[in-house]
Amino acid sequence: MIDIHTHILPDMDDGARSIEEAIKMTELLWQQGVRGAVCTPHFDPSQIALDEFINRRTIAMSLMKEAKIPLFPASEIYLHEFLFYYNSLEAVTINNTRYLLLELPFDKKWNNKIYEMIGNLILHFDIIPIIAHIERYPAIRRKHIERLRDIGCLMQLNTSSVLDKKLKRKALNYIGSGLIDVLGSDCHNLSHRPPQIIKPIEEMRKYIGKERCDLLIRQSDRLIEGLD
CB of 188 to Fe ion, least distance (A): 7
- Asked if residues 13 and 186 have their Cβ atoms less than 8 Å apart, the reply is no
Residue ranges in 130-159 that form contacts with Fe ion under rule CB under 5 A: none
> Cα(204)–Cα(180) distance, rounded to whole angstroms?
12
Binding mask 52-71 for Fe ion (x = CB under 5 A): --------------------
Binding mask 74-113 for Fe ion (x = CB under 5 A): --x-------------------------------------
CB of 76 to Fe ion, least distance (A): 5
CB of 174 to Fe ion, least distance (A): 17
Burial per residue of 21-42, b for 16 or more beta-carbon CB atoms within 10 angstroms, e otherwise? bbbbbbebbbebebebbbbbbb
CB of 41 to Fe ion, least distance (A): 9
Beta partners for residue 103, in sequence order:
78
Of the candidates 186, 204, 213, 216, which one interacts with Fe ion according to CB under 5 A? Answer: 186
Q: Cβ neighbours of residue 102 under 8 Å, at least 6 residues apart?
A: 76, 77, 79, 118, 121, 129, 130, 131, 132, 153
For residues 2 and 208, which CB has a smaller minimum distance to Fe ion in the complex?
Answer: 2
For residues 76 and 181, which CB has a smaller minimum distance to Fe ion in the complex?
Answer: 76
Q: Which stretch binds Fe ion (CB under 5 A): 79-87, 145-153, 179-187, 216-224?
A: 179-187
For residues 15 and 208, which CB has a smaller minimum distance to Fe ion in the complex?
Answer: 15
For residues 78 and 208, which CB has a smaller minimum distance to Fe ion in the complex?
Answer: 78
Q: Please give the helix or strand (H or E) that residue 202 lies within, else none.
A: helix 198-208
DSSP 8-state secondary structure symbol assigned to residue 187: B
Burial per residue of 67-105, b for 16 or more beta-carbon CB atoms within 10 angstroms, e otherwise? bbbebbbbbbbbbbeebeebeebebbbbbebbbbbbbbb
Where do runs of H (alpha helix) occur along 10-141?
A: 19-31, 50-62, 112-125
> Cα(58)–Cα(91) distance, rounded to whole angstroms?
11
Q: Cβ neighbours of residue 87 under 8 Å, at least 6 residues apart?
A: none
Q: Which stretch binds Fe ion (CB under 5 A): 84-92, 111-119, 158-166, 180-188?
A: 180-188
For residues 43 and 110, which CB has a smaller minimum distance to Fe ion in the complex?
Answer: 43
For residues 99 and 208, which CB has a smaller minimum distance to Fe ion in the complex?
Answer: 99
3 is an interface residue for Fe ion by CB under 5 A: no
Compute how many residues bind Fe ion; rule: CB under 5 A: 2
Residues that bind Fe ion (CB under 5 A): 76, 186
